[in-house]
Structure formats: C-alpha cells, structure tokens
A = this chain, B = another copy of it.
C-alpha cells in the first residue's frame, strides 16, 4: 500500500461518506488517508488487525481462495466500514483487495476500540450503525431469495422506499447488480411492469401502483 499521509482534504470526504460523522474528532485526527490501486492488497488472512478500514470511494473485496483455486467473494464494499467483525478479532479471516482505484480511511484499531469504550455517543452511533446494517442486509437476503426479477423490484421498492415510492440513488446498471440480476433482465422487467400498469417511472423515482 502507498505511504500514509496525514489527513488533508477531509471536508470534501465528509461530504461524501456519512459514516465519518460517527467518529469523534480525536479519532478522526488519528486516521490515515490512503489510496489503493487496482489489485492492491490491504490485508491478508492471518494478518493481525492493525487498522479499521473505511472505504470512501472505489471498491474493496473480502475474499478467500477455495480448494479449486477460485476466488470466493465474502463481501464487496463500495462505501462505509469493511469487516466490522474484525474489531473483535485479533487476525483477519480473509484477504482484503482493492479492485479499482480506491480511497480509504484507516483508523488505528486499538484506539478505535478504546474510543468505542469511552465515548458514549460514539458507542450508541456504532451500535445503531450495526443494527441498521443488519436490518438492511436481512431485507436484501430476502429479496435475493425471490426467484423473479419483478418480485425483486417490487420487494426493493417496498423495503427501501416509502409508501411504495423509492428514489434511486444509483444507475440502473448498478441497481441490477444489487438486485442480483443482469442489467438486461432489469430493463425488461421494468418495461413489463410499466406495460402491466404495476409501476410508474419518473426519472429516478419508481412508484409501485395499486391493483386499481
């Protein structure tokens, strides 16, 4: 990994990554801002946990290699903390690799743990973050268990939106990936739903329509 510089342009980072808001000023000032290149390794299985990683932009993957020699992706992270569970463990249980040019914040793990103990607000914020993450991931798992594209779209609107309306904050291609579909399948399902009168689309807004 590249040399770790002291934080310089944080104001712009904070604007894009809300997880940073959680972190007490004192801890923020100890963080390293780091750039990782494509295929650059951040940590490997067995490495001791020195830093808590926060992805600001780009993508990091947590992977293992199976007996057949193939990569198994345990997690793709395009923003927020990676491997929250590493806080409690001494060593990493997988490899962490950047798959595109990636910007990260590294927080010293020991101080991170200590601050979590001492700072009541941080502690609550962290717990809230984890609980919210669990909620979202559970819904995501249920969604991916649905077998049809139309059902996944409907599930997304209901679980991520409000009153049957969701504002998409990403491209449809990226949405397709989140839904576990190819972009072609997503486009076709959206078209079908509109034709069937189940869905209205207005720019980035998707509206689930009642049976009527």
A83, B135: Cβ atoms under 8 Å? Answer: yes
A85, B132: Cβ atoms under 8 Å? Answer: yes
B140, A141: Cβ atoms under 8 Å? Answer: yes
Q: Is A75 an interface residue (CB 8 A)?
A: yes
- Distance of A142 Cα from B126 Cα, bound (Å): 24
A159, B64: Cβ atoms under 8 Å? Answer: yes
**Copies of the chain in the assembly:** 2
Q: Is A87 an interface residue (CB 8 A)?
A: yes
- Distance of A88 Cα from B208 Cα, bound (Å): 29
Q: Which residues of B contact A87 (CB under 8 A)?
A: 127, 131
B126, A127: Cβ atoms under 8 Å? Answer: yes
A142, B73: Cβ atoms under 8 Å? Answer: yes
Q: Which residue of B lies closest to A139 (CB)?
A: B74
Instruction: Write the A114-134 contact mask toward B (1 if CB under 8 angstroms, else 0).
Output: 001000000100111011111
Q: Which residues of B contact A139 (CB under 8 A)?
A: 74-75
State how many angstroms separate the Cβ of A184 from the closest Cβ of chain B: 13
- Distance of A74 Cα from B157 Cα, bound (Å): 12
- Distance of A76 Cα from B145 Cα, bound (Å): 11
Q: What's the interface size class on A, roughly? A: 35 or more
Q: Is A29 an interface residue (CB 8 A)?
A: no
Instruction: Write the A172-212 contact mask toward B (1 if CB under 8 angstroms, else 0).
Output: 00000100100000000000000000100000000011110
Q: Which of B76, B138, B154 contacts A74 (CB 8 A)?
A: B138
- Distance of A128 Cα from B141 Cα, bound (Å): 21
A residues neighboring B (CB under 8 Å): 62, 64, 66-70, 72-76, 83-85, 87-88, 116, 123, 126-128, 130-135, 137-142, 144-145, 147, 154-155, 157-159, 164, 177, 180, 198, 208-211
